[in-house]
């Protein structure tokens, strides 16, 4: 019997359903990598929570409650590992051209935190998102629904690498939103996890490690580890799930930080294993306040967990298969067809 989760999965929804939020993708033509930007032109209270042991981030110290800056103007999610942080400079340039930023008297300084995922194993590693890519993502941004799958920051995403890249599958980026009591919570998640992506309700593995490089049979990484299977050594930071949670509820910075923390419960519902030593899992939270109030943190918590889980599942459901020489990274649709 279909669950409420499955019903929500079938209904169109996106982080751009949140009032005051715009979003867009851009990709590099020479390789499967790119950038996704979430814009809040009028500013948004923001926070961050990092659970992975190998993050790649920019401007996250600003988001700690107690530090001076209260609002951000955009958040950039990027491929390209640490090199991809260059894309945030292009986002800053785009915002500055439009007079958007923190007024410091002699200039307006756009506040643009960012996080990256590692996708250098796919194609030419010398091609990474740059400032032009970040600028292009802003140019493409709007209130229309985002495309899910292998676009933007999810262009080169791969999941299920715990037993080696050869047995992995295509990851991606996905977005979703949940509405309750006049308030919307949305999420966009770029899933490049070491572990499997699972159905949050029934636990079925949707995408992840396969039995062999030429197999369309999923092996269930969690069960395999408990049965004694040995993961292959993975360099720290060569995985990572990154994302943004946004709401139009009115929140203080400490409450936004709590939403960012709770978002990781959505990842834990849909990825296993998650938050490993080889992942840099990082989630941002943004609150535009456009709804004028809040249904309370308990309701927002439930909405956040659901939106993140929905976005994570959509990321792999919309992915497309990839071949590079002898490397085959099938997508969910490829396994279903087989």
pLDDT tens column, 10-26: 999 999 999 999 999 99
pLDDT above 80: residue 233? no
Give this prediction's pTM. Answer: 0.96
In this predicted structure, what is the pLDDT of residue 277? 86
CATH architecture of 4-337: 4-Layer Sandwich (3.60)
pLDDT computed for residue 196 by the predictor: 97
Q: Average pLDDT of 108-114?
A: 96
Report cis status (omega within 30 of 0) of the bond before 273. Answer: yes
pLDDT in tens, 235-294: 766 789 999 999 999 999 999 999 999 999 999 999 999 998 888 899 999 999 999 888
Helix then strand count (H, E) for the chain reads 7, 18
- Give CA–CA dist 146/23, Å, rounded: 7
**Is 60 exceeded by the pLDDT of residue 135?**
yes
* Residue 335 near residue 320, CB atoms below 8 Å: no
Average pLDDT, the chain: 94
CA gap 338, 333 in Å, rounded: 9
Q: Any idea what DSSP says for residue 21?
A: -
- CA neighbor of 321 nearest in space, from 158, 211, 194: 158
DSSP3 helix / strand / coil % (the chain, rounded to 5)? 30, 30, 40
282-311 exposure pattern, b = at least 16 Cβ within 10 A, e = fewer:
bbbbbbbbbbeebbeeeebbbbbbbbbbbb
**Which 8-state DSSP code applies to residue 153?**
G
Q: Measured between alpha carbons, how far is 245 from 292 in angstroms, rounded to an integer?
A: 18
Give the 3-state secondary structure of residue 46. Answer: strand
The pLDDT score that the predictor gives to residue 239 is: 84
> In the chain, what are the domain boundaries?
4-337
Q: What is the pLDDT of residues 178-189, one digit of tens each?
A: 999 999 999 999
pLDDT tens per residue across span 198-216: 999 999 999 999 999 999 9
Residue 234, pLDDT > 90, answer no
Measure CA of the first residue to CA of the last residue in the chain; give whole Å. Answer: 24
The per-residue pLDDT for range 57-98, each reduced to its tens digit, is 999 999 998 888 889 999 999 999 999 999 999 999 999 999
Can you give 290-307 as a three-state secondary structure string?
CCCCCCCHHHHHHHHHHH
Q: Write down the pLDDT at residue 237.
A: 61
Cβ-count burial 157-168 (b if 16+ within 10 Å, e if not)? bbbbbbbebebb
In angstroms, rounded to a whole number, what is the distance separating the alpha carbons of residues 52 and 268?
12
CA distance 70 to 131: 25
Q: What percentage of the chain carries pLDDT values higher than 70? A: 98
Q: Has residue 1 got a pLDDT over 60?
A: no
How far is the C-alpha of 101 from the C-alpha of 37, rounded, in Å? Answer: 16
Question: Is residue 143 scored above 70 in pLDDT?
Answer: yes
**Can you give the pLDDT at residue 236?**
66
Give the mean model confidence (pLDDT) for residues 292-297: 90
């Amino acid at each position: 019997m279909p669950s409420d989760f499955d019903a929500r999965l079938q209904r169109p929804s996106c982080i751009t359903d949140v009032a005051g939020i715009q979003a867009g993708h851009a990709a590099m033509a020479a390789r499967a990598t790119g950038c996704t930007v979430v814009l809040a032109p009028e500013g948004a209270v923001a926070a961050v929570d990092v659970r992975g042991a190998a993050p790649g981030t920019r401007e996250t110290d600003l988001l700690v409650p107690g530090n001076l800056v209260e609002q951000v103007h955009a958040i950039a999610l990027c491929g390209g590992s640490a090199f991809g942080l260059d894309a945030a400079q292009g986002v800053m340039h785009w915002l500055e051209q439009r007079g958007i930023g923190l007024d410091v008297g002699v200039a307006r300084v756009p506040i643009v935190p960012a996080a990256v995922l590692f996708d250098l194993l796919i194609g030419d590693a010398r091609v990474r998102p740059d400032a032009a890519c970040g600028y292009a993502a802003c140019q493409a941004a709007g209130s229309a629904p985002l495309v899910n799958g292998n676009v933007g920051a999810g262009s080169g995403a791969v999941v299920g690498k715990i037993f080696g890249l050869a047995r992995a599958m295509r990851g991606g980026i996905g977005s979703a939103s949940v509405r309750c009591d006049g308030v919307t919570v949305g999420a966009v998640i770029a899933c490049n996890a070491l572990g499997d992506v699972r159905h949050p309700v029934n636990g079925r593995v949707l995408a992840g490690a396969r039995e062999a490089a030429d197999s369309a049979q999923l092996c269930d990484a969690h069960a395999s580890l408990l049965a004694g299977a040995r993961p292959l050594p993975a360099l720290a930071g060569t995985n990572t799930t990154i994302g943004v949670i946004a709401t139009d509820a009115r929140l203080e910075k400490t409450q936004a930080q709590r939403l960012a923390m709770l978002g990781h419960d959505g990842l834990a519902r849909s990825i296993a294993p998650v938050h490993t030593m080889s992942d840099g899992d990082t989630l941002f939270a943004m609150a535009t306040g456009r709804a004028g109030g809040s249904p309370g943190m308990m309701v927002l918590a439930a909405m956040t967990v659901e939106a993140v889980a929905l976005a994570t599942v959509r990321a792999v459901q919309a992915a497309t298969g990839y071949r590079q020489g002898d490397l085959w990274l099938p997508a969910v649709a490829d396994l279903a067809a087989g």
